[in-house]
Amino acid sequence: MRELSQETERRGAVAPYGLAEVTGPSMVPTLLHGDRLVVHYGARIRPGDVVVLRHPFQQDLLVVKRAAERREGGWWVLGDNAYAGGDSTDYGTVPQELVLGRVRFRYRPRKPDQRSPLAVLRWAVSAARPVFCDRSASRRLRAR
């Protein structure tokens, strides 16, 4: 399952910040299909952060997951949508060198059917948000 556009990787090499687009349901409700992300490449990762990483088995594939906890050999990452799969429960610990950066901000583009003034106002209030660290990720991991 492709999670981010490949344009993310090229921009990350040039500047510490880059843009990415989410595809897929693995981070619902935090991130939705079509969301745009501002990624801080090379940022320090802490448990609970939403991160961009290379898939351990398909390294041309970039994914976005939540760093649940540090383990021997790298990071244990989880999607916020437990039913979507495609996280460390499938492929194990992700080596540190495959974790590219931390997601700082998300932007939801306006849908074509959001034309009324009230719909535009609702969109404007909720479209852009910072992506915060979720410290409960480690507790969710232990509860599984």
Quick one: tokens of 7?
Answer: 């344009």
Tokens representing 106?
Answer: 């998300």
Buried b (16+ CB within 10 A) or exposed e, 44-72: ebebbbbbbbbbbeeeebbbbbbbbbeee
β-pairing, 99-107 vs 128-130, is antiparallel
Whole-prediction pTM: 0.79
Cα atoms in the 13 Å half-sphere on the side-chain side of 66: 26
pLDDT tens for each residue of 94-123: 999 999 999 999 999 988 888 899 999 988
Question: 126 in helix, strand or coil?
Answer: helix
Quick one: which of 38, 34, 36, 7 has its CA closest to 112? 34
pLDDT tens figures, 25-68: 999 999 999 999 999 999 999 999 999 999 999 989 999 999 99
